[in-house]
């Protein structure tokens, strides 16, 4: 007899999804996490960052308003007022999660979990027995072993700044670095973005990378490609950031953000005692999220799959279904959309052009359109939008869709069900769009 049918380790998006789904199947469930409910996404990631994106949008609106006849649209931004408003909303979100767990009958254990064996787990000064376990401990920011690296902040620290930086240096041109550079530059900071690649956003389609790279530069962000962080030191004049590569220089800044990626958060779990295999720093799982120990599953960013909140939630519900029903659910990652919340936004689903061309058995054609949205035609600040289709030349099925422009993330989601079912270029171009909108451009590609 076990204390619980299921213990979920980690109360982020993946863990919350798994716990509530399993409880709905009738399992006796506990969820263990020493941190606040909601994990990184709610407390130190997606949600508070999106609030900051909205704050930056108001600054952009003030600039754009002058082109539309508004004589005096400017106002004063209060960073601490924004921080306070975000904190209040996050507290309410955490309370709503607590209420949902209570209603579902899930026990919340505010302790870090450590395996004794596959069915026995230490929580603080007590030990519980469990039939099954789902590990959902997420990931944490990477900090390289460099001189003075502890002076650098990670993304979670950016939400607790006491004041806006004057000179902000960001190392890493992935989506976190790109988004924060855009936010803080728009709010009035002098931003330098350093990356060791030719273009920002590695892994995205090359046209998206180049379009956003140039857009950030046009907005006053200093971009230093092919450049690597070497060391950090501080003195009375500020923070001295030593670089190598194409820009072999030393920068002076008051704030340094390290956006060099994330790695699975596995410390303290004692996975060896549970018989759980770790491969390349992540928990190894099969298509059903099952680890090498049949009674233990792992989901979300502690595995080496797609590190996105909606994916983590889907993995959580799928794992619960596999564990507690006779309908096991495998995950498919072929048509997972993702977005970069800069201005303009970037959104993508399916294969990039390079991924498609790596399939030797396919002949690929590309349809691409660049245009200035109607919204910016009256403004001296032109913004280029991009629509790109990657297509199987023989069948005319769309293999990938890539967008840059306002509300690109909202626009792309509606296409996913059709793309999953083999949407062709002809079916797309036969569709009548709404005029005048940016979205109609997708139905009029050459």
- Residues serving a catalytic function are 435
Query: DSSP letters along 8-33, please?
Result: EE--SHHHHHHHHHHHHTT--EEEE-
- From the number of C-beta atoms within 10 Å of its C-beta (0-12, 13-18, 19+), residue 57 rates as middle
**Residue 79: exposed, middle, or buried by beta-carbon count in 10 A (0-12, 13-18, 19+)?**
middle
Ranges of beta strands (E only) in 110-237 are: 113-117, 120-123, 126-135, 139-141, 167-171, 190-194, 222-224, 227-235
Sorted by sequence, the CB contacts under 8 Å of residue 189 that are 6+ apart come out as 164, 165, 166, 167, 168
Which run of H or of E encompasses 255? strand 255-258
Q: What 3-state DSSP class applies to 282?
A: strand
Alpha-carbon span 89 to 77, nearest angstrom: 19
For 242, how many CA atoms within 13 A lie in the half-sphere containing its CB? 9
Q: CB–CB of 254/239 below 8 Å?
A: yes
3-class DSSP state of 261: coil
Question: Do 216 and 359 meet the contact criterion of CB atoms below 8 Å apart?
Answer: no
**365 torsion bin: left (phi>0), alpha (psi -120 to 50), beta (else):** beta
Of 93, 86, 88, 82, give the one whose Cα is nearest residue 58.
82
Closest CA to 176 of 53, 254, 50, 261: 261
Residue 134's region, left for phi above 0, alpha for psi from -120 to 50, else beta, is beta
Edge-to-edge strand order for the sheet containing 398-405? Answer: 338-340, 345-350, 398-405, 385-392, 364-371
């Amino acid at each position: 007899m076990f204390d619980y049918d299921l213990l979920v380790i980690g109360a982020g998006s993946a863990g919350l999804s798994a716990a509530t789904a399993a409880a709905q199947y009738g399992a006796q469930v506990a969820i263990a996490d020493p941190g606040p409910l909601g994990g990184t996404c709610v407390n130190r990631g997606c949600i508070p960052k999106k609030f900051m994106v909205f704050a930056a949008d108001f600054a952009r609106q003030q600039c754009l308003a002058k082109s539309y006849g508004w004589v005096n649209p400017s106002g004063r931004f209060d960073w601490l007022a924004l921080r306070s408003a975000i904190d209040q909303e996050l507290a309410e979100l955490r309370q709503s999660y607590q209420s949902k767990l209570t209603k579902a009958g899930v026990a919340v254990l505010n302790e870090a979990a450590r395996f004794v064996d596959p069915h026995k787990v230490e929580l603080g000064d007590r030990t519980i027995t469990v039939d099954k376990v789902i590990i959902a401990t997420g990931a944490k920011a990477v900090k390289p072993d460099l001189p003075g690296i502890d002076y650098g902040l990670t993304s979670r620290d950016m939400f607790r700044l006491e004041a806006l930086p004057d000179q902000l240096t960001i190392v890493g041109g992935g989506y976190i670095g790109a988004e924060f550079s855009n936010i803080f530059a728009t709010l009035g900071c002098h931003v330098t973005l350093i990356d060791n690649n030719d273009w920002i956003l590695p892994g995205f389609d090359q046209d998206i990378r180049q379009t956003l790279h140039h857009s950030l530069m046009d907005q006053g962000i200093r971009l230093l490609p092919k450049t690597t962080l070497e060391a950090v030191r501080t003195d009375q004049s500020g923070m001295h950031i030593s670089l190598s590569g194409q820009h072999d220089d030393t920068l002076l800044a008051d704030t340094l953000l390290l956006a060099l990626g994330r790695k699975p958060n596995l410390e303290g779990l004692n996975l060896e005692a549970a018989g759980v295999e770790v491969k390349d720093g992540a928990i190894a799982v099969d298509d059903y999220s099952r680890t090498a120990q049949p009674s233990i599953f792992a989901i979300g960013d502690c595995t080496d799959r797609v590190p996105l909140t909606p994916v983590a939630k889907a993995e959580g519900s799928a794992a619960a279904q596999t564990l507690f029903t006779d309908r096991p659910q495998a995950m498919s990652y072929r048509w997972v959309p993702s977005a970069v919340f800069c201005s303009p936004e970037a959104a993508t689903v399916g294969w990039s052009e390079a991924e498609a061309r790596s399939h030797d058995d396919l002949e690929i054609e590309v349809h691409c359109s660049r245009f200035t949205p109607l919204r910016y035609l009256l403004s001296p600040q032109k913004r280029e939008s991009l629509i790109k289709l990657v297509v199987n030349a023989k069948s005319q099925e769309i293999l990938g869709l890539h967008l840059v422009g306002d509300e690109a993330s909202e626009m792309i989601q509606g296409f996913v069900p059709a793309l999953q079912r083999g949407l062709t270029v002809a079916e797309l171009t036969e569709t009548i769009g709404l005029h005048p909108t940016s979205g109609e451009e997708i139905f009029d590609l050459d």
